[in-house]
A and B are shown apart, each in its own frame.
Chain A
C-alpha cells in the first residue's frame, strides 16, 4: 500500500531564500507524482506533474524532481516570496489505479 510522507511539516524562511520541500513514497511503481499548493480556506491548485518516465519538471521559479529508485521527490522554490506562503502537498498515483495518495503537506511561511 502506497504511503506518502512529507518533511518538514512546517518551514519558515526569510524572503529571497531558495528552499527544498521533500516528499517520500513507499511504492516506487508510481505512474506519476504531483505537487499541489493549498491556500487557507481554499482548495488545491496543481503546480507540477512528473510522469514516471521523467526526472524533473519546471514552472517558473518551481522545479520538481523525481527519483523513483529512492522513492523521493523534491520541490525546489527559487528566490522565495511572501506570496509563496501556503501548504504544499505532494501526491502519488500508482499504476492501475486512478487514486491519488497525498502526503500530509509542508506548511511554508515566507516572511519579508
Chain B
C-alpha cells in the first residue's frame, strides 16, 4: 500500500530536549516536505526536498532542521524545542513537486512542548 508514515504520532516533551520526527514514503517519490498546522494559520511549509541531498527552506524554517540522505526518508529535527513549536506536523511526498495531483500526506504528528 502506497503511504507516508510518520513517527511518533503523538509526542509530549520539554523545552530544550532534542527530538526527531521521522517520515518515510514507499512510493519512490522525489519530492518531500514538512508542514505545521496551527489553528487560524492553516498549514505552513517548514522545509522541502526536491531529491536526495537537496533541501530548501519553506515559510517557517526557524528552529527546525531536516536531512535527506535517502530518497524514502525525510526526518524533521528540533534541536532545542520551544513551546511555540507545539503544533500538528505533517509530512508529504509527491513524484512531481507541488504541481502533481498525487500529493500524499502522512497522518500527522501532534507535538506538545512544555
B-binding residues in A (CB < 8 A): 4, 31-32, 34, 36, 41-46, 48-49, 51, 89, 91, 93, 98-105
Q: Give 15 A-B contacts (CB < 8 Å), ordered by A residue.
A: A34-B101, A36-B103, A41-B107, A41-B108, A43-B90, A43-B92, A43-B108, A44-B103, A44-B105, A91-B43, A91-B98, A93-B99, A98-B97, A99-B45, A102-B42
Q: Is B48's CB under 8 angstroms from A98's CB?
A: yes
A-binding residues in B (CB < 8 A): 4, 31, 35, 40-45, 48, 50, 58-59, 90, 92, 97-108
Measured between beta carbons, the chain B residues less than 8 angstroms from A41 are 107-108
Q: Is B50's CB under 8 angstroms from A98's CB?
A: yes
Complexed CA–CA distance, A98 and B54 (Å): 13
Chain B nearest CB, measured from A52 CB (Å): 10
Complexed CA–CA distance, A46 and B35 (Å): 15
Q: Is A45's CB under 8 angstroms from B42's CB?
A: no
Which residue of chain B has the shortest Cβ distance to A2 in the bound complex? B59
